[in-house]
Amino acid sequence: MTPPLITMRGRAPATWLRGRAPAVWTYMIALATLTSAALAQPAPRPPESTSPSAPAAEVSSVAPAADDPPEAPTSDDSPGAPSPDAPPRPDNERRALALMAEGQALASEYALTEATKKYREALTHWDHPAIHYNLCLLLAALDRPLEAYRSAQRALAADLPLHRDPDRQRQMRALLEQRRDELRRQLAQVALTSEEPSALVSLDSHDLAPTETQVFAPGRHRVSVQKRGLSPLLRSIELPPGTTAHLHLTASRPYTPWKPWATLGAGSATAVAGAISYLYGRHRYDELAREVAAACLPSCDDSALAAEFDRDWRRARRLQQIGAGALVVGTTAALIGAGLVLQNRRRRFRLQTDVSVDAVSIAPVLSPEMSGVVGTVEF
C-alpha cells in the first residue's frame, strides 16, 4: 500500500484543502498573533515618582581638574520635577533646586566661585547631603581643602540618602569617603585631652572639645586657654599637613609646695644667724677696747698690749664680717622665698604638644572601572 503522505502530495491543492479549511485558518491566525506580539514595542511606563525628602543631585564622581569645570548634574541625576502622583515640593525645596540649577550653569561656564555661592545659598533653604556633595567637589576644584572636607563630612553625616537608587547611593558614598580621606591628608588634625573640664580651649577662635578630633588648615596656629581663677595661657603651634597634634592640658602650681617654704625658712635662719654673729663680734670688739683703755692708765707699753690683744681683736672683726655677709645672703633668700610662696598660691596651665605623622592611610576605591582599597605610606 502506498503511504498516505505520498498519496497526499499527489493530490491537487484544492482537493487537499477540502474539509480542512477551518483548521488552516485557525493556525494562520495564531501565527499572525504571535508574530505581532514579538514585533510590538513595550508600553511606556509612567515616570518614577521622586520623594520630596531625597533628591539625587550628583556631579562627576571624580574631582575635576583645576582647568576643567565640575560636571553639572544631568536631568536624570538632579532632583527634577516630581511625577503627577507625588505631593508638591515645599517652597524652600523648589527655591533650593532653582539655585542649584543656577550653580550648575555657572560651573559649566568656569565660574566656580560664583557657583559655590549659589550652592551655599541653596543650603540655607534646604540642608540636603546632595547639595553638600556638589559643593565639596567645587571647593576641591578651587583648592580649598578645609571647606571641601567639611562639606564632605556634612554630606556623610546626614540622615538623608545621596541618591534614591541603593546601588548608586553606596557607590557615591564610597567615592565621597575616598575624597574625604584624600582631603584629610592635605590638612592637620588636633586632638585635645584635658584634666580641667571647665577650661575653655580654643585654636584660632575655634573651640576645642576633648571628645572629638577637629581638622584645621596646615600652618601656624595660636592656642589659648582660659579659666576663672587661673592665669590664661597663649601658645603658638605649627601644624604640618598630614599630621595629628595631641594636646594635653593640665593645671598645677609652678613649684612643689615645700620648695618655696624651704627657701623662705633657710633664708630667714641664715639672716638671724648672721645678725647674731655680727652683734657678738661688735660686742667683743667693744669689750677689748675697754680692757685696753683700763690697762693703759696712767701709761702703758703699746707693743706689749698689741701682742696681748691682737688675736682677740682679729677674731672679733672676723665675726662681724661673717655676720654681715650671712645677714645679707639670708635676707635676700628670705625675700625670694616669700615671693615664691605668693607665686605658688595660684595654679598655672601646662600644655603638652605631641605632633605625630599619619604614616599609613587606607581608603576604599569604588568606581565603574575598578574597586578595592588604596594604601599610602609616608616616610
CATH label of the domain that carries residue 74: 1.25.40.10
Q: Looking at the domain assignment, is residue 370 inside a domain? A: no
pLDDT band of residue 30 (cuts 50, 70, 90) is: low
pLDDT band of residue 240 (cuts 50, 70, 90) is: very high
Residue with cell 639670708: 330
How far apart CA 60 and CA 58 sit, in angstroms, is 7
Q: Looking at the domain assignment, is residue 217 inside a domain? A: yes
pTM score above 0.85: no
Is 2 a residue whose pLDDT tops 60?
A: no
Is 16 a residue whose pLDDT tops 50?
A: no
Q: How many domains does the chain have?
A: 3
Mean pLDDT over the full length of the chain: 74
Is 200 a residue whose pLDDT tops 70?
A: yes
pLDDT band of residue 15 (cuts 50, 70, 90) is: very low
When mean pLDDT is compared across 62-76, 153-167, 176-190, the lowest value belongs to: 62-76
Is 170 a residue whose pLDDT tops 60?
A: yes
Is 253 a residue whose pLDDT tops 60?
A: yes
Q: What is the pLDDT of residues 38-66, one digit of tens each?
A: 433 343 333 333 333 334 344 433 333 33
φ and ψ at residue 351, rounded to 5 degrees: -120, 115
Q: Looking at the domain assignment, is residue 29 inside a domain? A: no
Q: Are 220 and 353 part of one and the same domain?
A: yes
Q: What is the pLDDT of residues 119-157, one digit of tens each?
A: 999 999 999 898 999 899 999 999 999 999 999 999 998
Q: Which amino acid is at 255?
A: Y
Q: Are 103 and 168 part of one and the same domain?
A: yes
Interacting residues of 355 by C-beta distance below 8 A, sequence separation 6+ = 237, 238, 239, 240, 243, 244, 245, 246
Q: What is the pLDDT of residues 255-302, one digit of tens each?
A: 888 888 899 999 999 999 999 999 998 888 888 878 777 776 666 666
Q: Are 165 and 299 part of one and the same domain?
A: no
Residue with cell 503627577: 84
Look at the chain and count its residues. Answer: 379
Q: In 3D, which of 258, 171, 253, 247 has the Cα closest to residue 209?
A: 247
Which residues share a beta bridge with 322?
Answer: none
Is 69 a residue whose pLDDT tops 50?
A: no
Q: What is the pLDDT of residues 344-360, one digit of tens each?
A: 777 777 888 888 876 55
Parent domain of 339: 258-345
Is 95 a residue whose pLDDT tops 70?
A: yes
Q: Are 181 and 207 part of one and the same domain?
A: no
Establish whether the linkage from the previous residue to 368 is cis, with ω within 30° of 0: no
